[in-house]
Structure formats: structure tokens, C-alpha cells
Chain A
């Protein structure tokens, strides 16, 4: 299907230019903020910076990290993301293993009931206020587990993993059972190693979600004991009083520092993005449904 006519050739050229333009549109805001974060405060204040740093320096990053709440928040975010990944992956994989066996001879009685139970949990929730009251009532307030347990069961991921488990050849586990293996062994030594692609996909999505999640941090955590995303939220939402005095009052130049803080918040995502990219076609079935 090579373009042959002039009309088609000019379409190809126009289309390629348009695509490059769209790619730039997606990149330009990030580049601008990156340039701001690396520029001297004088050049930022006089609005000289566009996409290339002027007066290159790393002062803003140093200042951002000097903020006494910043590093602990970064640490809490990292801890939360790793713990959440471990808990959530384990819980969902175990459930997926069981449900992948169906309700017949290999599975459990009440299979259909459990499926319904999880579907309802996927489609509905008790709402913001009742969930908030529950989490505080059971003593999770200001505990890292408040950021992990409420969202640990993710039925979309559960279904994705379950479908992958279902597609594994039955003969393998039958052979293992014949040799005297139990369910835990089949799960840990056979299903998990065979499912690395899907586990990587789901795991990466979990990492992105947990790192980016800020709302639970803002309602379940106290004071400065918040994950980085929540801290960033409070940093960026400087109240705008009205159009005229907004700039003078609010930003007597921490624009550059703010830019640095925002980019540090995005850094882990930017770092795993190349890996992530390899996996999203697999994850898309879920992603498309999810939002």
C-alpha cells in the first residue's frame, strides 16, 4: 500500500507533520516546566524562560529537597507503593487462582456467589463519607495501612489475572497434583512463574496508581505525615485571591522551586515509563474498561 498519487503523497506529508505537532503538544508543557526548574530565579521572574533553561543551575532542586517535609513524604510514598504492590498483588493473585478453577470438581462450592460478591464490589462502593468514617473508626487513621488496604482488592486486575490463569494448560497442574503437590505449591511454584507477563503488567499499573494517588493521603493521614503526591497537592494549591493580585502575592518566585517539586513527583513515573510502554497493550483491555 505505497502512496501513489500526488494527493496521497501530500496527505502523507501533511499527516506526518500533524503527528509530530501532536507529539510536541504533549511534550511542550513538560519541557517548559523542566526548563523553569533548571533556570535562575531572575530569568524565571522576568519570563524569559520558554523551553530551554536560562542560567542553568540546580538550586531549585536543592531547595525542594531541603524542605523538611519533602524527603519524609518521598519516603512514605516509596514505602506505600512497595507495600501496596506486594499486598495487592498477593491478595488478587490468590483470589484469581481460586476463581480460575470455576465451580466444578476442581473449584469451590458457592463459586457463583463469590463471583457476584466481587462484581458488586467492583461496580459500587459505599461512597466517600461512609468509607472515610469506617477507616477512621477501625483505627487506621494516620496509619500507612489506610493507604493500602482500602484499595487492595482490585476486581479489574483480579479478572485480568484470572483470565490468564484460566488459559494455562490444565495438564500441568494435574501432573503436579498427581505428584502430591497441594494448592499452595501449585500456586506459588507453577502459576506465578508462568504468569510473569501479566503480573508485570498489573504490577506496573499498580505502581503508577499508588504513586499518583493523593486523595486518600489527604483524608486519612495527619499533618505532615503524607505521601509525596498529597504534599504536592497542598504545595500547588496556593489560593488564588483574584486575577489582579494572584501573581504578586502568591509567587514571589517560588515558580522555579514549584516546578522542581512537581517534576520530582513525576520522576518515578517518567523513569519506569519506557518499561511500562512495553506492557500497555496487554493492560489495555483493562484500562479501556476501567475509565
Chain B
């Protein structure tokens, strides 16, 4: 393939006569991506300005790194970085562990009917939006009438204000995210498990290895590349903690530990009108994410030959 293309390059490529139509076919996607992704890139200059809507980008005052300086000095913005990181790492850890454990356990279930029935139910929450789930969680976690607190009362505990107490809020966010995604996330691992050569297990059985030893010495090592790819790709998303989720569950009582970069950017920018400051915070997040993504893709490619294009 490689040699063929180099030869072609030397010769000059002769394309089909009507290939200009291909540009026509490509143009809607190019135009839309240009308008809605590339033009907003230009808006990034706002982060270096004191943007005023009535002056526009060309008329607003240039302030250089002021917004960024302010960002690092302003306690609220420093707080949201830590909040983002805390929630994110907790989600990463508990999410990966629960997903992997579930995949290994459901893979051991031999009854086909049970297996697909269980999968049907645990995959479902993934497809429901956080608006719907927010409505459901606000109901069942209600401090006085919610199902969960009713159950706690029955077994003799005091009711917990899950969505109104900072520490409980973080726990609730992590737990509800695990609840929503552990089933669906397991599909990647199940696909990897299905790909393991059955001969390995037969050989191990002949050698007298029990199921636990088989899991330890065959199953886990075989899916290490998949685990590595999933982990690295999740690490690249560490600053995307789930705007939808937080936004649908939080309230001013839990801004202390529950406010994350994305919700902060939204409130600062679209609610309070601090366009420049909020763009600067968003830009900082994007730049950090950029390095994380590039690094993660490089690692994923090295470890498992993972490639997107």
C-alpha cells in the first residue's frame, strides 16, 4: 500500500472526471463544521478582552492575561477546579471498578435467559437523560418524602439530605453515575471477554485450575489492553465531569463541593453575563483537556494499537 501510493504520487494522480462532485457531497459537512466549530474558535479572543456585548469583539478592550490572573486568584474558580478533579477521579475509580466487576460476574452466568434479562435492565438507565433521571432522583432522594429516606427511617436511621449536603452530594453524584453507566460500560469488556480463546480455559482446566485461578491468570491478563484503552480515554475526559448530571441535580446549597468547571462557566457567562471571564475559564479547561487527549491517544495507540481514523 505504502509503496503503491508513493509511486502514484510520482506519476501524478489521474482522478475520475466527475470527482469534482465529491466536493459538492462533502460541502454540507464542511460548511456546518466550519460555521459551528471553527468560527467560534475565533471567539476565544474574548478571553483576552473585557468583552461587552454592545461593543462586540472588535470594539471591546484588550486586557491580555487579566482574566486568567483573576481566575487563579478568585476563590470560587479555584474551588471549581478542585471540585471537578475530585468528582472526576472518584467517578473514574468507582466507575471502572464497578463496570469491570460487573462484566466479569455477568460473564460467569451460564443461564442465557437470565443473562440477557439482567442486561436488558442494567443497560436501560444509560439511555435515559439526566433531565428524566434528575426528576426521578429528586423524588426518591427527597429528605422528607423520598423513598430512600423512608427506607432509612424504617431501619432506624436519620433522614439524609442527599442533594442538599455538600459531602452527600458528591457521594450521590458518583453513585448515581455508577448506577447509570455500569451496565452499558460493561459492553466493551464483555466484547473483550468473548474474544478470549476458549482453548486457554480448557488447558487450564486440564491443569486443575479452578474458576478463580482461571479468572486471575487467563481472563484478567487477556483484557488488560481493553482496560488500558478504556482507562486512558477516560483520563483524557477527566475535566468533563458531566455537565448534564450536575446541572440537573445541584442547587446553591451544594455549590461548595458540587459546582464544576462547566456549570461555573455556564453561570458566570450565560447567567451573569461575564462573557470574557467565563470564556477564559472554558479556554483553560480546553487547553488542559487538549494535552490530556493527545497524551491519552498516544498511550492508547502504543498499548493497544488503538486508532480513530
- A95, closest chain B residue (CB): B29
B5 within 8 A of A: yes
For A108, what are the chain B residues with a Cβ–Cβ distance below 8 Å?
Answer: 15, 19, 22-23, 26
Q: How many residues of A contact B (CB 8 A)?
A: 112
Evaluate whether A104 and B105 lie within 8 angstroms (CB atoms) in the complex, with A11-B211, A26-B124, A232-B132 already known. no
Render B22-51 as a binary contact track against A, CB cut-off 8 A, 1 for contact. 110110111011011111111110100000
A203 within 8 A of B: no
For B118, what are the chain A residues with a Cβ–Cβ distance below 8 Å?
Answer: 19-20, 22-23
Per the 8 Å Cβ criterion, residues 1-35 of A in contact with B are 1-3, 5, 7-8, 11-12, 15-16, 18-20, 22-27, 29-30, 32-33
B77 within 8 A of A: no
For A262, what are the chain B residues with a Cβ–Cβ distance below 8 Å?
Answer: 132, 135-136, 139
* Measured CA separation A242–B121 after assembly (Å): 35
Interface size class of B (residues with CB under 8 A): 35 or more
Render A152-168 as a binary contact track against B, CB cut-off 8 A, 1 for contact. 11000011000000000
A139 within 8 A of B: no
- B110, closest chain A residue (CB): A12
Query: Are B127 and A208 closer than 8 Å at their CB atoms?
Result: yes
- B29, closest chain A residue (CB): A95
Query: Are A212 and B128 closer than 8 Å at their CB atoms?
Result: yes
Query: Are B184 and A287 closer than 8 Å at their CB atoms?
Result: yes
Pick the residue among A177, A187, A247, A269 that contacts B143 (CB under 8 A).
A247
Render A116-160 as a binary contact track against B, CB cut-off 8 A, 1 for contact. 011111011111111111110010000000000111110000110
- A97, closest chain B residue (CB): B25
Query: Are A239 and B251 closer than 8 Å at their CB atoms?
Result: yes
Given A22-B118, A152-B36, A153-B36, 11 additional A-B pairs, CB 8 A: A12-B109, A33-B139, A33-B140, A47-B145, A50-B147, A127-B282, A128-B266, A130-B41, A130-B43, A183-B22, A247-B143
For A117, what are the chain B residues with a Cβ–Cβ distance below 8 Å?
Answer: 30, 33
Q: Enumerate chain B interface residues (CB-CB to A < 8 A).
A: 5, 8, 13-16, 18-19, 21-23, 25-26, 28-30, 32-33, 35-44, 46, 102, 105-106, 108-111, 114-115, 117-118, 120-125, 127-129, 131-132, 134-140, 142-145, 147, 150, 161, 163-164, 179, 183-185, 187-188, 191, 201, 205, 210-211, 230, 233, 237, 243-244, 247-248, 251, 253, 262, 265-266, 269-270, 275, 278-279, 282-283, 286, 290, 293, 308-309
